[in-house]
Amino acid sequence: MGNYDDAIKAIKLIYKSFPDGYTVNYRLGYLYNVNQNYSNAISHFKSAISASMYSIEPKLGLMLVQMTKGDYQAAEELGHQVLSTDYYNYYANLRLSYVLRMEKKQDLAEKVVLKMLSLYPIDIYFLLEYGLLKMNSHDYELAYMIFSDILILDPENVTANEMLLKINDYSKEFKKTK
């Protein structure tokens, strides 16, 4: 219901009895993250990882916290950890492609995106990442096609609409300079 403080208080009662438990630490990590208490979120996600070192869920949660904080290097490392266990993990690949794009590692981000688009050819989120990568590399023709495809799937998509407007603006500027 969005009352994260009360949810944290309720879980903390259980936490007192099971401070090393996977579930309680994962849930507290999640709750602290959505409540924007990132240091506690990190601590609890790390405790959940310690409780079950091969688990993917807390690594994805921790990855999200690192992305929110702008610690892309830490998020990238977590993404690679998850992919070493589950190569096609949807969220790890999506978040990793975003992180790599933010780190200006365009070629690596594109490899991740294309790998996932081969499995999910009309996935809007991977198409958005691909379109944004093409915008960054000034391949406006391909970006235009990608964002147009997104609008077929999701006509109200804000990002696709904004990027198409930018491409049209770039096109007008280009024509003026000729």
Q: What is the pLDDT of residue 171?
A: 74
At residue 173, the pLDDT reads 66
Segment 3-57, tens digit of pLDDT: 899 999 999 999 999 999 999 999 999 999 999 999 999 999 999 999 999 999 9
Task: Band the pLDDT of 169: cuts 50, 70, 90.
Answer: confident
Section 80-95 average pLDDT: 98
Give me the count of residues in the chain: 178
- 78 vs 81: CA distance, rounded Å: 5
Contacts of residue 122, defined as CB under 8 A and 6 or more positions apart, other chains included, come to 149, 153
Structure tokens at 26: 């994962």
pTM for the structure as a whole: 0.90
Whether the predicted pLDDT of 174 surpasses 70:
no
Per the prediction, the chain carries an average pLDDT of 95
> Is residue 19 helix, strand or coil?
coil
